[in-house]
Structure 1
Amino acid sequence: MRFLLRRLLLPVVLSVALVAGAVSYASPSQPSTRPYSQSYFGDGNLPPGCIRDMSLDNPANECFHMRTGLNALDSPQVDVLVLVPASPTAERDMRVMRQSVEMWEGGIEQLAKRMKQPWLTEVDFHITVDALSGEFTTYPLVDPEIVLVGTNPAGGIGIGIDPAQFAGDIGIYDAQGVPCTSIENPFDFAAWEAIPGFDTHHEERSGTYVEDCGGAGGNVCFAINGAIDPLPGTTEVFSLFDLVSHEFGHCLTVGHVGDGAEGSWGPVPTNDIMSYNEDPPGLSKCVSSLDVEGFALRMSGYLDRNRDGKVTRKDKLEANDLPGDGRNPFQVQSPSDHIYASATGSPADCPQPDVGVLPGARVSWSPTPVTTTRPRLTLKRPSRTDDGRVRLTGTAAYVAKGKQPRRANGMVVDPAGDADSPFNDLRGLDVRVTNTQLLATVKVARLSPTSGTTGASSYSLIVNGRRFDSIGPAGDGANTYDNGAETFLDGVSTWNRAAGTVRFAISRRYLESFGNVAPYYVGSTSSVQNAKRVVYVDDTAPSGQGRIGVTGRTLRAVKGPQQATPPTGTKPYALSFRAKDGNSFALSQSNGGLGSLVSDPHVFSMSVTSPSKVELTLDWSDPVSDLDLTAQPGAGDPVYSSGGKPDTLVLPKVQGPIELEVNPTLVGPTGTTYTLRAKITPLGKDRDRDGLTDPGDACPTLPGPLPSGCPDIDGDGVPNGKDQCKRLPASTATGCPAPASEWIRVLVDGRQVHKVRMDRAFGTGRFDLTVAVPRGVHRVRTVWLDRTGALTSVVREVR
């Protein structure tokens, strides 16, 4: 991948104080990252253990889901124009925005090789940076694919542009000289907000706008970033680098990963650049393997992916969840394949941008990968079956190299006076693991009087990269916010003002539900926080990116609660909903309609088998209070209630999952309880009596299982008429299993007697097989291999 940078004029060096741009790498005491196994493309070709359902409430949903296809980027030669406004830190802003593009290019190149997608390295980014004086030497602008614009929060003019001379306009033309778009004062954020089609998807001072140029110009995507840093290294919410990188990702066609304004799903990879989250704490983000998969979907239409000398439909990749949310396809990825463009694959080791007011050394955005894990094959003692065969049972997984934590407790003392405020001055961290909980005590010089308002302090615990924020009120109680699940947790943290401590008690079972298992690498931070948003991290314990490594006994497997199966057939039925901690809200939970930024609503999930009319009724006890109801059908836009009391909402024809949200817009002084009920009336007849009514039955006269209602002999969800492998169950579009990438091979006395496909779900492969072994003494070798050859093996003597 070639990188081209063209500066039109040399930047003006401003006389300002030096703020060094630091390149920070994590301590070795970080959780190891498994190697990327393989890419799963093609509708229905989901990674082992993953499902299409992206609901936060479904315990079987343990994978990451990315919205794709946001913009119509139409060339692998990506011309990027960077425009920054006049400000005391204009050169630094321009440099940071340029580095955002370099981060994407370098990250894609590094990960494409690790992901065995070398064709992606042929994508080139060409960056033109706006001059800091005089004029645009390329004015008018010809056919850029992406324009990065930094706007002043209060408007203002751009560098080198005289609005009187240029009529306040910036013009974009295509390659044939056809006018494409003209934006009046591009450095005024309000001017962009006024344009029809401008997507303020975060409800923050940022967004994207796509213009379809005529002639040969194709599309131009504008990434607008309104939160220019008021101070170096800080913005209204994020660092300028992360904000620009996020919006640039949208122009590269990749979408959110579960925490955007258009909807919530989960779990959320909060360290991802496409997550609207501040993780990893105190660090800037970099490209992930999920980002590269989403980008590859678009670029496969323009590059010779299969190396046959031409670009055809055979090169085009397809998302593995093509229906997605009914509007965009989604790409689903196993957490075990989620790695980052750092040397170790960990987000804690992402290269960090140069954000000093004066330029520092250039950053390498494609660090050389280092190996932090090794393959391990575990085999139980072989046994003879009743028919004389030998049974082999075991697991295959990558484990960390080197020494691992052996102790269940650890502590660190942090130096005094290394924070801006005594309220942020951490003095130590003490961590202990029990059979059921991870316990941690953060020692502070002086606890903040209050928290959760502008300028107040909050205290966070980081467990294997997952951040839990403790936001304390005036008393000793506390609210705990899990950034990964985007939810508040009750009773997880407490403040002791007399002792100056914040104590966390996190259920290990809760951590395990998100794949967060021992060993645990634990750290703590103190931050200046605005509501649930970190303004900046002031102090850390251990210092920098250090962590305390602790471990504990493996938790016993438990069966989760069974999901209720929605009724089938034509008979109407009713449902009622109850929140985990009861259907009630207190005065303090009033959020004025601002949603989870202030106080979390209660969220429920339901599903209807057949196309149905759904009538919802929300009522509450307190006449002073005002609650509101929203319904989000899986493949449609949110539907809002009547606003009365009781509050009602009708969905005339829906099918599939529906998410319901009860919002405490206004809660009276005495609080309120509520009831939420649904009446479901299936539509139409069910002529073949298979439980799916005719309007939703693809084969209304032939009985068959869900979801199609058509005959499906292997029960894989692909009807016989479309299933090319009727006797081999697979959820792919063709009904045939995707090609294998890993196997278990068995040799008896050096001769292969068995070879079987092995799929690793969430990083661990399990096998249970029997092989014919004659009586007597024999050497049985069990081998784990992938497409490159044998990874490791175990030899047992069998009699």
Structure 2
Amino acid sequence: METYLPSDWSTWDAAAGAVTFRVPRSYLTAAKVTAPYDVFALTSYRSPSHMWTVVADDRAPDKGGVGVAAPDGTAQAPATTGTSTTTSGGTGSGSLLNPVVLERPGGNTFMVTDSTLGVTGGPVHTFSLDVPETSTVELLMSWPDASDLDMWVTGAASGSAATAGQPERLVLEDVRGSLDIAVDPYLVVGVPSTTYTLQATIVPSGPVDGETPVDTDGDGVADGDDACPDVPAAGSSGCPVPSDETVTVYVDGVEVGSQDVESSNGPDAFAVDVVVPAGSHEVRTVWTQDDEVLATDVRNVVHTAPGTDRDGDGVLDASDNCVQQPNADQADLDRDARGDACDNDIDGDGHANAKERQHGTDPYDAASYPRKKGGTGLLG
């Protein structure tokens, strides 16, 4: 579970720099949390000494068969101190919150003679860190003496930590891809050498602008928020919801079909197949919710029976490109499936026949049409 806890469930020991949470058994039971389980806490408080703290410690015995205490014989997790420390009890360890320690095959050690004093081309150590999903990455580098080591990052994100003190800490947000990390031994004073520790803490932050969340069932609800990720549905939770809306179709006042729709999570689509006899008919579509009419659409449609030739030109309506104007030749100059006899732009030049006749251009010639001033032709 992930939730904000009431303030009386925690105590803060400022001197020890520790927060202790006491989670009631009733909450764990209601949330169906059973042992073994991990407990972790995130803090937005950022300083060189504390960022993330992860603790798993369940010491209280079960009462009443709740089943949430750690199994018998499980050792209490050790206390956590310092920066980016991680301990885990039970199972489920290996979270991205666990720091990744970056080490070179030859070790993370610089000799006094490796000091670069800012001159490029010296013995810089390089590392590569892969961040598979958009995350916040904290890089922390520390060493035991007064040496001055600097850190530079390029690749999927860029930044640097090059202060005169230590530890060096760099936080990069919305990172996805490969990071190239370089450690520069600006000044090494350890005798005869200085060994540093470099660790990365990766915290997934979810999709950023421009990235598309995964939506397996394509219902518009991202998998992370979808309670039914494999079932496309219009509900805001990603699951089907009971419908109280209906679209009904009437032909000449007689109901011929209906379909349930759901618009509580945005527009819905519907398709109602209707068969009408030959002739002219009124088709009425009514959208209702709990028997209250929300909208009505009325159309007058004409259904031509096979074999009808309304304009009497010898071409049946089913094949006639002008069903109301006689045109036995079926001439169609611009081949737009509308016969010249009923086409208001016979040559298909974008200018109506009446306009062309008004300006003296040829409605049967696509190269002849009204033109604007300054062109080669008539004024349109």
Q: TM-score, normalised by structure 1?
A: 0.15
Query: Which structure would you say has the larger Rg?
Result: 2
Indicate the structure whose relative CO is greater, using CA pairs within 8 Å and at least 6 residues apart: 1
